[in-house]
Chains A and B, each alone.
Chain A
Amino acid sequence: MFYFIYKRLIQSVFVMLAVAFLAFSLFRFVGDPITQMTGVETSVVDQERLREELGLNDPFISQFGRFTVDMLQGDFGYSFRTRQPVAEMIASRIPATLELGVVALLISLVVGIPAGVYTALRPRGVITQTILITTLIGISIPTFVIGIMLIFLFGVQLGWLPTFGRGETVNIGFWESSFFSIDGWRALILPAVTLGVYQLTLTMRLVRAQMMDVMRSDYIRFATARGVPMRQLYFRHALANTMVPVITIIGLQFGGVIAFSIVTESVFQWPGMGLLFLESIRFVDIPVMGVYLVVIAFFFVVVNLLVDLLYVAIDPRLRV
């Protein structure tokens, strides 16, 4: 088992190196950093001197090495657009995106798993059919349209909830949180639901498929024959065996949540990383784009490692 984790760690390091390489190539080859930094009146001689000073004439590999070492020390360079350190810009946006993503994921699980179990156990009921049709529609409507619809209904028509921004936030050290005020929670509801709906349908469909599969298996049939109470049968014997694939999907969904948070943050003007990434694309702010990639890849790697560890915790067969 330790060997397994060790192998995964090595793999993760290589993934991070590959992404860092991609980010560096972006930075180095998309547009000329010197023209971005200097004005029109800078002479060619001065430009060349700056190029030499910054080490842009060094061999590619040594430039990449320096870039990686700087990154490991938390130096991510400066934004072309705002001239601020990229590390600060991104760090200040991380809490907003993570809080939105975590709440969306929770909605997806808390609603999706029971709905999946129910629709698998009562496949012909009226409620099941209603749920299935609703999710079919939900999966076909693009995220941004769901956002607009929620804004229109709950923000404009009913006026119950705020439709943009994070509301009142509380500072806990470096972490700006909207979890500690009613206003913050109210602002969180619509974006989180928007982001969670699509993931919810995925969770539900997966749990349903797994559950139906397990219910058909021999050990469930024998347990039924032995007279195991239904409740115990469903939740102890059946549900536990659907958990491994469900955890895989949570790991995969995390990527979806982060990517679609770009759309959701744009609809609700939610000041997270996604909104920053969009702005950086619009202004061709390459350093911010590159670092966003690296940060996202880092989250991916961490989540996938956690998922692997969870496998071991949940499935005793893997502990050998």
Chain B
Amino acid sequence: MKEFIKRSEGLWLFTRSPAVMIAAVIAILIFIGAAFAPWIASVNPYDLGSFSLMDGLLPPIWQEGGISQFMLGTDDQGRDMISSILYGARLSLLIGLSAMAIATVLGVGLGLAAGFYGGRFDAIIMRIADIQLALPAILTALLIDGIARGILPPEVQQDLRVVVLTLAIALSLWVNFARTARASTFVEMNKEYVQAAIIMGQGPIRIMFIHILPNILGPLLVIMTVDLASAILLEATLSFLGIGLAADSPSLGTLIRIGMQFMLSGEWWILWIPTLFLVALVVSINTLGDFMRDVFNPGLR
């Protein structure tokens, strides 16, 4: 084990930076909690029968009046805060991860193709990317969401909320992937192995995905981490603005929006616990992203 750690530079750096280790532990705990929410959480916050109004507005256990059944207290409906947060994080992560995955596939595909073919195709893709880069992601996401509201018939709007939100976020994040993939592809194109593959008459798809892609993965992994954090933040912001998910299927952002109503009345936990949770999640993912950037670009150290 020790030998292995010594040989891998990334792992060695990892064992040397406590902040990154803490961030990794927090991120992993939240991921596990979110993934297994239905088994960990004591109640299902979407099932109105599983909690009771009688338990409403109980404070966390360390405060007077808190009971051990609800460690972090309850909201006004009597929902257990832990369960709400786990289910909320589940939705937030589900949307964040899928949006990131779609953005990766779309952006890397277009970026690879732009770098490989060059010429007019490259010019068109990069022009679109430039225009979109001038608009902040949140504005793009809001717009796509607004357009979806106009196009989709009202009956399916509620059911497709998660899909629309995911796509809106994905379409506002693909640009980073495309630009990075294109720039790295340009560099690879001049290397002998690519030239050799072209001369051997291999197909463009094969060259792009089998030969070039594995060699440009490093910087893309960094962007994936950073964009996961952006996607989670975007989702939280949209839901907080009331544009994202509705109150009956709350994500972390929706929970914070609901908690705002209790800011003045003293039930601090309804607002601050989900907020703390969201910030912890985003800060840990960002810390991991920074760490990965350092590992892949030793020049920045």
A residues whose Cβ falls under 8 Å from a Cβ of B? 18, 26, 30-31, 137, 140-145, 148, 151-152, 156, 255-256, 258-260, 262-263, 266, 277-278, 280-282, 284, 286, 289, 293, 296, 300
Contact = CB atoms under 8 A, between A and B. Distances in A.
Nearest to A300: B134
A154 to B, nearest CB: 13
Contacts of B136: 255-256, 259-260
Given A141-B283, A266-B241, 7 more contacts: A26-B147, A140-B279, A141-B282, A142-B279, A152-B263, A258-B139, A262-B241
Closest 4 interchain pairs by CB? A30-B150, A259-B136, A281-B146, A259-B139
Contacts of B275: 145, 148
A151 B134 contact: no
Contacts of A144: 236-237, 240-241, 256
B31 to A, nearest CB: 18
Contact of A281 (B134, B142, B271, B279): B142
Interface in B226-242: 233, 236-237, 240-242
Given A156-B263, A289-B146, A148 B271 contact: yes
A197 to B, nearest CB: 14
B256 A148 contact: yes
B138 A260 contact: yes
Interface in B242-272: 242-243, 256, 260, 263-264, 271
B89 interface: no
16 contacts: A30-B150, A137-B283, A141-B279, A142-B237, A142-B278, A144-B240, A145-B278, A148-B260, A148-B275, A152-B263, A255-B135, A262-B142, A262-B241, A266-B240, A281-B146, A284-B149
Contacts of A258: 139
B142 A277 contact: yes
Main secondary structure of the interface of B (DSSP, over half): helix
Count class of interface residues, chain B: 20 to 34
B142 A140 contact: no
B279 A282 contact: no
A140 B286 contact: yes
A308 to B, nearest CB: 15
Contact of B279 (A31, A145, A293): A145
Contacts of A286: 150
A173 B255 CA distance: 43
Interface in B93-146: 131, 134-136, 138-139, 142-143, 145-146
A255 B147 contact: no
A25 B250 CA distance: 33
A281 B263 contact: no
B145 to A, nearest CB: 7
Given A145-B275, A259-B136, A281-B145, A31 B282 contact: no
Interface in B144-170: 145-147, 149-151
Given A148-B260, A259-B138, A259-B139, A142 B271 contact: no
A262 B256 CA distance: 17
B265 to A, nearest CB: 10
A151 B233 CA distance: 20
B264 A156 contact: yes
Contact of A262 (B139, B149, B271): B139
A255 B150 contact: no
B151 A31 contact: yes
B143 to A, nearest CB: 7
A94 B263 CA distance: 30
Contacts of A259: 135-136, 138-139
Interface in B216-233: 233
